[in-house]
């Protein structure tokens, strides 16, 4: 049986179910307890699990991320919430130099089962320092797994899988999607880390994206259908490890690829996919790969600048018509 719930409810269910299943799982971060979470993702969890397992921290990301890494190395399974991944910059030493390297530095003796989670990407008029996209930043680091979700079903299933994983996982959400609703089964389920999902099966062109840009792709695909162009949409879901197989199988059918990535164009996820497809599926391409990214600049505050900066359905449609050679 399924019911319709929000993304924030799906994330809460994932954490709560895993905390009931395993007493070693706990949540810490700014405002996760008394305030029920900055986005109400952890609403009610303090009441159920108590202050020893739902822990409000000081505004000190480096400090509480370090506490979480130490706890993970000693047998616990922390969920470390950042109010936004923009604030996680302050904790990069713990994520990149400690969590990601624990297994290799200890020659396999210690693992670091920890989930760092919070929203990534722009969320309207939040200006330069609060609007960055971190999937490619974290995806560049060996030893980390990186997940980025958009809907309720994937958010719950992948977060549960991340909490049970023995490697450190960076889990990316979106502030603008917490209130989105979707079908989620009542019974327990997990989604394997590392598998993309075909959200829309078609034949003319492949659109590959992740996080809230999947919604942009779906909107573009619906408009393109009115013009007789059928666009297949793939949601990566996991950035590291990256599921090239699903993308290649799609390219074999459509022979054209547009990658939509909210991050900046230089050295990003879209660049990696473009390289990978020209390596693994070059002979199946009938047109050059086109990327649709955010503008190569910091995001301004004015709404007109936000509109120009962000990928949108109009920009995706233009790119699709280029690879389709349609004017």
Catalytic residues: 61, 130
> What is the C-alpha to C-alpha distance for residues 231 and 209, in angstroms, rounded to an integer?
13
Strand segments, DSSP code E, in the chain are 2-6, 25-29, 54-56, 77-81, 115-119, 145-148, 169-173, 181-185, 197-200, 205-209, 231-235, 238-240, 257-261, 290-293
Count of CB atoms within 10 A of residue 143's CB? 17
Q: In what order do the strands lie in the sheet with 238-240?
A: 54-56, 25-29, 77-81, 115-119, 169-173, 145-148, 238-240
Q: Tell which residue, 4, 290, 7, has the closest CA to residue 176.
A: 7
Structure tokens at 143: 């030893």
**Cβ(307)–Cβ(281) below 8 Å:** no
Q: For residues 72 and 114, what is the distance between their CA atoms, to the nearest angstrom?
A: 6
Task: Write the CB contacts of 281 (distance below 8 Å, at least 6 apart in sequence).
Answer: 247, 248, 251, 252
């Amino acid at each position: 049986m399924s019911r319709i719930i929000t993304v924030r409810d799906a994330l809460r269910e994932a954490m709560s179910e895993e905390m009931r299943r395993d007493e070693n799982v706990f949540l810490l971060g700014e405002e996760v307890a008394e305030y029920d979470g900055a986005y109400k993702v952890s609403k009610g969890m303090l009441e159920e699990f108590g202050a020893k397992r739902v822990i409000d921290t000081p505004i000190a990301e480096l400090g509480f991320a370090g506490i979480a890494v130490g706890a993970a190395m000693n047998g616990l399974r922390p969920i470390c919430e950042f109010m936004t991944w923009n604030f996680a910059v302050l904790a990069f030493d713990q994520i990149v130099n400690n969590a990601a390297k624990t297994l290799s530095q200890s020659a396999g003796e210690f693992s670091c089962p920890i989930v760092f989670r919070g929203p990534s990407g722009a969320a309207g008029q939040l200006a330069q320092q609060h609007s960055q996209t971190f999937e490619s930043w974290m995806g560049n680091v060996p030893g980390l797994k990186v997940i980025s979700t958009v809907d309720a079903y994937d958010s719950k299933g992948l977060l549960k899988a991340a909490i049970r994983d023995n490697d450190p996982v960076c889990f990316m959400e979106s502030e603008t999607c917490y209130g989105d609703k979707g079908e989620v089964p009542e019974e327990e389920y997990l989604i394997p880390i590392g598998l993309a999902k075909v959200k829309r099966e078609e034949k003319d062109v492949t659109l590959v994206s992740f996080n809230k840009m999947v919604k942009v792709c779906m909107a573009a695909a619906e408009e393109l259908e009115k013009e007789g162009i059928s666009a297949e949409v793939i949601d990566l879901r996991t950035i590291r490890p990256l599921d090239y197989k699903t993308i290649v199988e799609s390219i074999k059918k459509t022979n054209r690829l547009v990658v939509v990535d909210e991050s900046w164009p230089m050295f990003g996820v879209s660049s990696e996919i473009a390289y990978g497809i020209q390596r693994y599926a070059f002979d199946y391409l009938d047109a050059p790969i086109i990327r649709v990214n955010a503008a190569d600049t910091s995001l301004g505050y004015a709404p007109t600048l936000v509109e120009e900066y962000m990928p949108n359905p109009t920009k995706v449609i233009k790119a699709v018509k280029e690879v389709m050679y349609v004017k």
